[in-house]
Chain A
């Protein structure tokens, strides 16, 4: 039996807000396997980003366990890199230096670092812009730099927190195609948070639907249709209807069934 890459065991996380404890996600349990492209789908406020924060190691659960390669996650690490919706690129560095940033924490020579960074900039099609400043780029280009930066440290898991949420429709569609291309080239385990059902259906091998308050796992389904996906395909239509149904009645359904 294949060892899961990431395991959530009965994870609950709450935050103190105005001196009241508010549970964000409640008793979450699921496994994620290597090389899977998983979309975490749910409405705003269902705790999707919290799940990524937990995996990235920014925050710790109040109860339950989160394992990465069977070890408890204690702190952020470049084996699990996160891509932010607002890019979080460092404006005081140019494009190339943003991509090299993570590599400078490793014991690598300057030439090696530059070579790797250029390779990833090339991969996202921006090597011509290596000396540009961040403010000279469009939103879509910024996010491509951010993805290159996250991939350059060669993580095992790539976490994306609504990465295309701030982009216009056309750019968003291009970026989805781009991401799938990168994923098939680099073969990472991908966790992609989105609130768009269609985006999840377009991208994911597997969709985890989170909903309710506090957020619970409502639905866990695999999508085995080959890409690019035809939205008239019967399996897609079927999964889509089920997801919409679960999201419409979050309180009546719990756990996973297909």
Chain B
């Protein structure tokens, strides 16, 4: 309760400073609009539906890319864990690929797919596939031997062993991979959308720039932050903590 109060005060002070800077500095709204202008932008954006459509389109795009990436990533991870030769070649390449920011793939994607949804989905897959592949590989390699032995000594083998022990033992590491992957997908989405046409958060952001509508730009940046925070930290973060607690990997917070 006390924490909540402190946070409310913090944001109030933040908005107050923002307001004072704009008012005292007499800044033009294309440089820095007042908080009220941004609230207005949100209000009309949501009432007229423009922002809602943008958010909805973006979420569809990111979900398609994310789930495709999960499929490819899990398969890649299993292959990396099983085939040593693949691991020492492609496995190491993945580490290099991971250091490339998603925006670096944009020119390539645009030339291949044009300024379409496919270009963005391609970038999302490229980014999101890597953490899933790596965590699947690690999860498979790090299954505690005693879990498997305990299952075997109780008569479990084949499909029963896979379904009830191997996959279950992999879950904590997989969940971490899923969360990281989502974070990558979200960033890739916005980077890609800045360059394509159609509805979306990134497009709305870019539109705000070309119209010198800074209120819209800030509204979209805030939207990206809020959705990212809710999904990454609240949704995936909670699942991850719960799983790690149940699996006995850390104390409950």
Contact = CB atoms under 8 A, between A and B. Distances in A.
Interface of A: 56-58, 75-78, 80-82, 84, 86, 88-92, 101-102, 104-106, 133-135, 149-150, 153, 159
Contacts of B152: 57-58, 75-76
A128 to B, nearest CB: 21
Nearest to B171: A92
Interface stretch (B60-68, B154-162, B223-231): B154-162
Interface in B214-248: 245-248
Contact of B168 (A58, A75, A92, A149): A92
A153 B155 contact: yes
B153 interface: yes
Interface in B149-184: 149-157, 160, 164-165, 168, 171
Contact of B156 (A80, A82, A101): A101
Contacts of A57: 152-153
B99 interface: no
Contacts of A135: 245-246, 248
A90 B149 contact: no
A64 B146 CA distance: 26
Nearest to A97: B164
A56 B153 contact: yes
B165 A102 contact: no
Interface of B: 144, 146-147, 149-157, 160, 164-165, 168, 171, 245-248
B250 to A, nearest CB: 10
Nearest to B161: A105
A91 B154 contact: no
Among the interface residues B147, B150, B155, which one has the most CB atoms of the partner chain A within 10 A? B150
Contacts of A134: 248
A106 B149 contact: no
29 contacts: A56-B149, A56-B153, A58-B152, A75-B157, A76-B153, A77-B155, A78-B155, A81-B153, A81-B154, A84-B149, A88-B144, A88-B147, A88-B149, A90-B147, A91-B246, A92-B171, A92-B246, A101-B156, A101-B164, A102-B156, A105-B154, A105-B156, A134-B248, A135-B246, A149-B154, A150-B153, A150-B154, A153-B155, A159-B153
B151 A101 contact: yes
B134 to A, nearest CB: 22
Contacts of A102: 154-156
Given A78-B154, A105-B160, A90 B246 contact: no
A45 B84 CA distance: 31
Nearest to A102: B154
Contacts of B144: 88
3 tightest A-B contacts by CB? A102-B154, A78-B155, A76-B152
B149 A104 contact: no
A134 B153 CA distance: 20
A58 B157 CA distance: 13
